[in-house]
Structures are given as C-alpha cells and as structure tokens.
Amino acid sequence: MHAIDGIFNAVSGFMEKVASWIPSFNIPWETFFNKWGLVGYYLRMANVLFPVDDLLTIMGLVVTFLSILMILWGIKFLKDMIPFI
C-alpha cells in the first residue's frame, strides 16, 4: 500500500463518520417554485437596461473559451511533466 492510499482511506473513513453524525434533511423544493416567477420579473426589468440574454450568452462563451484554454494548458503541462510522451 502506498502512502497516498493510506491517506485516502483515513480521509474517507473520517468522512463516513462525519456523515453518520450529521442527520439527513429534506429541502422543501415546493416552497421555492413560487419564487422563480419573481426572478423572471426582475430579469425582464433588467433586460430593458442590459440585454440579459446577450450577457448570459457572452459569459457562456467566455467560460467555454477559458475552459478550453485550461484543458489545453493541462495537456501541455502533463506532456512537460512526463518526459517520455
């Protein structure tokens, strides 16, 4: 057994103990459904000043672009770390 395996076993055992101490709870999702109508109302109000749909699209494109850059950087980093690839 490697040292990292022992660490993972210890951490997972501790997390299982913590999970047994914390009582389970239920989130009343039915009460939140009425609030979503208010969110749509405020989005329509904000859409007059700033086109919310366009901003969300632009933010999605930026996040996608940054994610692709991070994946490419990760591949390059791994290739630099492993000399025989």
Q: What is the pLDDT of residues 46-67, one digit of tens each?
A: 777 767 677 778 888 899 999 9
pLDDT digits (tens, 9 = 90+) for 4-29: 888 889 999 998 998 888 887 787 77
Q: Sketch the domain layout of the chain as residue ranges.
A: 3-81
List the structure tokens of 19: 């999970």
3-state secondary structure of 70: helix
Work out the widest C-alpha separation in the chain, in whole angstroms.
62
Helix 52-81 × helix 35-49 angle, to 10°: 100
With 0.75 as the threshold, say if the pTM is over it: no
- Residues with Cβ within 8 Å of 47's Cβ and at least 6 positions away in sequence, in order, are 53
CB atoms within 10 A of CB 52: 15
